[in-house]
Chain A
Amino acid sequence: MHPPSLQIMDISMPSDGPAAASLDASDTTLTPSPRVRRVRFYLTNEFGLVLLIIIFGAAFTFAVPRFLSHFNLFILGRTAAENIVIGFAMMVVVVTGGLDLSVGAIGVCAAMGGGWLMQVAGLPWPLAVIGGLLLGAALGFVNGWAVVRSGLHSFIITLASMSIFFGVMIFITRAQAFRSIPLSFASFAHIRYFGFISPLLLLAVVIMLALVYLYRLTALGREMLAAGARASAAELSGVRVKRVIILCHMLAGLLAGVAGLMLVARNDAAIPSMAGQLGQDWLLPAFLGPVLGGTLLSGGFVSPLGTLLGSFLLTLLTNGLLLLQIGQFWVEAVLGLLLLVAVLLDQARRSFIARRRMI
């Protein structure tokens, strides 16, 4: 008895599912020759992203020397940190072949919950942060539970829950902000290590390492990947797919909460409008990071490092384009074009690898 949702899993998704599975299984295949291994390294998505980051970084430095000023680097790192964690929140659901349109709504709910605990309930901030994160995870649980119980695709469930979470939050808070945020908490977003490194960026890196650990070294992580790659097969081999899907959504809610609380620190306040109407402003960074990073929308393959680099590249481009003064209004068009080019290049790389059978 498979959950009906699994039939809808690969809605709109490309045909590279099998390739993904083989990518994932690369460590079990025969050891390739050193030369092939070297070429394969140059062909990885992550290497391509690093290359792009270096190229664009150099170009922006050349065009706008202030690009490398301490202030700009600090700003860049801090904004990137937020986008990276938002990207992670989406990535952990995409692993299962689903998606979570409500990341923004959950993030704002968690932030408002944390803000309430700090200001109204008067809890010390570490407890309030834990409370906010738990709220995020709880809302993620609601999503996951609804997905497995109804058997509907997470797209529809989270489309609805986005409205519901955000609406209830606005109803309860009457759109009022919480601004009595302890300085010791808010300072996380304002401290600069060595003049230009934001603690938030370090936090994003730590989260990435934790996710790498989860997917590479724990049974749960492998189950998540298996459930995404081929749910029915995973089910047969003893993975409790429903439970795993719920856990993925909870993790997404938790990470969305982290991103929301980062924004609270950055704004010194928990404000309902910080992710836009219904939290929709987060959707673009949420998808761009993982997609640029090579995470498959059909599920089963994940690259936390790729997501980190992808989100960073996105932030770098936005920042650089603004500095170049090409006209604020064309930034979005250029970003879209770059995303398209990046996706096409990635596709070319994949088919090149597949042709050469380098995996």
Chain B
Amino acid sequence: MQFLSRYGRTDWFGPLLVTILAAIIVGSLSPSFLSAFNIQVLLLAVAINALVAYSQMIIIAIGEMNLSVGAIGGLAAISFAGMMQVWHMPILPAALLGILIGLLGGIINGVIISLTGISAFVITLASLSIYKGINLGITEAQPFYGIPNLVKHLGNAPFLGPLPWLIIPTAIVGFGLWLMLTRLPIGRCILAVGGNRHAAELSGISIRLTVIVAHALSGAIAALAGILLCARLQIGQPTIGDDWLILSFAAPVIGGAVLTGGHVSVGATTLGVVIVAIITEALVLFNIDPFLVQVVLGVLILWAVGINRLREFRLKPLRRA
């Protein structure tokens, strides 16, 4: 009992329970769900979507939001593909430059936000248009097709059993973020700034630097997600990132993140991504009327935040005690 209540309080316990339950239910109704190939497909989706969610999560941690996550990811993806096709750049430098572009995009967001004090919502709304606009201006909305075969291979093939290559960068980033948020000073600064900006400032934390670092990280992670998606889709699509916004918020929120900041969990966010992936897949597996899919996703978000809300109410007295 004590064991249960101890784990019941952590962020990841609820989502983990839901994940296991969902996997068991879907798996028992449709045995092929647990086949190696299906797990590989699931992991591919999770690998990219988890990065999208992390990218937003780190901004939620400082109590802001970043609407330009998708625009940065798209810009990095088409830069990556474009540099390889047009300039015949080798893969690694192209990928690094792509991530650098994302990093830069994030830094620009962060610097403007922290220097002017204008809300991140407005600034990233503007930069969303700018980054997306640059993307459209460069590509004229036509995809880049010249993706090297090695990239296509890495974007789809497994390296061990059902584990795809794409899961490796995601795992590294996830572990790095966990390490940073729980063990490193900068992580504590981020959570402190999100939790109570005024108190953080009084205790000597540089708000500006923290905000810039968080946005830079967010940009770099979004760029990485864009590049991986580009490898997975085998083309540099200008529309990459257009539909990330809902997911980027849904997964951290399902994972118990508090939108005012100061409280996020890498593990629970990842589980949030897994839950969304399983549900998306279940809708296809069970042949749900395609016209209803949107409704189910909307209800899912509400249901998840509802659960969170309940948990928060239940936990409040505990925390105070």
Contact = CB atoms under 8 A, between A and B. Distances in A.
Interface of A: 7-8, 11-16, 146, 150-153, 155-157, 159-164, 166-168, 170-171, 174-175, 278, 284, 287-288, 291, 297-298, 327, 329-337, 339-340, 343-344, 347
Closest 5 CB pairs of A and B: A333-B133, A336-B129, A163-B298, A167-B294, A167-B295
Contacts of A288: 125
Given A156-B253, A329-B141, A343 B123 contact: yes
Given A278-B294, A329-B137, A347 B117 contact: yes
A148 to B, nearest CB: 13
B121 A336 contact: no
A298 B119 contact: yes
B140 to A, nearest CB: 5
B199 to A, nearest CB: 15
B214 interface: no
A12 B65 contact: yes
A121 to B, nearest CB: 22
Interface of B: 63-65, 112, 116-123, 125-134, 136-137, 140-141, 246, 249-250, 253, 259-261, 289, 291-299, 301-302, 305-306, 309
B140 A329 contact: yes
Contacts of A340: 112, 123, 126-127, 130
Contacts of B120: 12
A238 B133 CA distance: 47
Contacts of B292: 167, 171
B129 A333 contact: yes
Provide the main secondary structure of the chain B interface: helix
A169 B65 CA distance: 29
B137 A11 contact: no
Given A7-B260, A332-B132, A291 B294 contact: no
Given A161-B298, A170-B291, A336-B128, 18 more contacts: A8-B259, A11-B65, A12-B120, A151-B309, A156-B259, A159-B249, A160-B298, A160-B305, A163-B298, A167-B291, A171-B291, A329-B133, A334-B133, A336-B127, A336-B133, A340-B123, A343-B123, A344-B118
> Which of A151, A288, A343 has the most chain B CB within a 10 Å cutoff?
A343
Contacts of A7: 260
29 contacts: A8-B259, A8-B260, A12-B121, A13-B119, A14-B118, A146-B302, A150-B306, A153-B259, A156-B305, A160-B305, A162-B298, A167-B294, A167-B298, A171-B289, A175-B291, A278-B294, A330-B136, A332-B132, A332-B133, A336-B126, A336-B131, A336-B132, A337-B129, A337-B130, A340-B112, A340-B127, A340-B130, A343-B126, A344-B118
A291 B125 contact: yes
Contact of A159 (B112, B246, B295): B246
A339 B129 contact: yes
Nearest to A7: B260
B63 to A, nearest CB: 7
Contacts of B122: 287, 291, 297, 343
Nearest to A346: B118
Contact of A12 (B63, B134, B298, B305): B63
Contacts of B128: 336
A50 B119 CA distance: 24
A340 B118 CA distance: 11
A163 B294 contact: yes
B298 A347 contact: no
Nearest to B128: A336
Contacts of B289: 171
B119 A164 contact: no
A291 B123 CA distance: 11
B247 to A, nearest CB: 10
> Which of B126, B292, B296 has the most chain A CB within a 10 Å cutoff?
B126
Contacts of B118: 14, 343-344, 347
A297 B126 CA distance: 14
Contacts of A335: 129, 133
A170 B130 CA distance: 32
Contacts of B297: 163, 167
B122 to A, nearest CB: 6
Contacts of B133: 329-336
Given A11-B65, A161-B298, A167-B295, A333 B130 contact: yes
A331 B296 CA distance: 35
B119 A170 contact: no
